[in-house]
Structure 1
């Protein structure tokens, strides 16, 4: 009689199963908190140093000639993040944060005109058009940095 014999030798299956189990109990909140903190720092760096939108477009200069979006540092300092469920949100709670990001027209609420000083000159105007200076979002370098942090986090869990 002729025949074939097959022997299956299992090696490492228990170790692989253990690693996969670790992924199922991964502390997602810790990972998202790490990602949020990194995105917060990236956004602050964009405001303080880079002066460009996440897509790399330089922000339009202002009339005062001061540092864009970082004159006194209030917007920079207000950038925060929050983890909610499986999401991370990055932004500012300052009332004027949105007008800087999206741009728009500012009109007086309780007066006939706006009065301000810019570049050492006094102005009285009916409205001011603020150009958009997008500071929220992720550049390709930001994404790469976040992906690297996530990969390192997961690799550490799997060890």
Structure 2
């Protein structure tokens, strides 16, 4: 099972740059590959800095604090699963791991646990259930969102530089 994310960039400068590039270049694939590679690297770096795309630090996890390590990098599976793919005239950056969405969006739900089943809803709407042998009870389950996917202000500036470089090459013929 994988979790998909769609990020729409509404930055007028980036969109204008891509339209200009489209006007002089017949193939956007090279620019999208460069943008995808840059966003993939930037996303992976968030696991080092523990800072979301909006500049806010992630809440440290209790497990990482107890270990004296960083949040979300105990096994590095999530960090190492980050990749980009081209889809037509778009680039997508994300993870195919089922639990990626839990860390991206967090959980803040009442968990009702019966003697047979437990259920909760993650903030992005997907239900998870499982069997348990505990006595019926309910409790609040909270896992703070630790967004790693997204375009930071610095990413936006780099994307504009990438577009400018490709536009200059396309206009200059090399």
TM-score, normalising length from structure 2? 0.65
Give the SS at the match of 1:109.
strand
Match among 143, 151, 155 for residue 168 of structure 2? 155
Partner of 1:109: 130
Aligned CA distance change for structure 1 residues 146 and 71 (closer, same or farther; 3 Å):
same
State the number of aligned residues.
Answer: 127
TM-score, normalising length from structure 1? 0.71
Partner of 2:33: 33
Partner of 2:143: 130
Match among 77, 80, 85 for residue 83 of structure 2? 80
Summarize deviations over 1:83-142 as a string: whole Å, max 9, x none: 1111111110001100000001585611145xxxxxxxxxxx967421100110011011
Quote how far apart the aligned CAs of 1:144 are. Answer: 0.5
For 2:133 and 2:140, the matched residues in 1 are separated by: 10
The structure with the largest alpha-carbon Rg is 1
Give the SS at the match of 1:88.
strand
Summarize deviations over 1:36-65 as a string: whole Å, max 9, x none: 111101100112x22111111111111111
Partner of 2:92: 89
Structure 2 spans left out of the alignment, 5+ residues: 1-19, 112-118, 120-128
For 1:63 and 1:152, the matched residues in 2 are separated by: 44
For 1:109 and 1:101, the matched residues in 2 are separated by: 22
Partner of 1:59: 58
For 2:52 and 2:133, the matched residues in 1 are separated by: 34
Q: What root-mean-square deviation, in Å, do the aligned CA atoms of Structure 1 and Structure 2 show?
A: 2.3
Partner of 1:7: none
Moved over 6 A (4+): none
Structure 1 spans left out of the alignment, 5+ residues: 1-19, 114-124
Contact 2:24 2:171 in 1 (8 A): no
For 1:156 and 1:25, the matched residues in 2 are separated by: 9
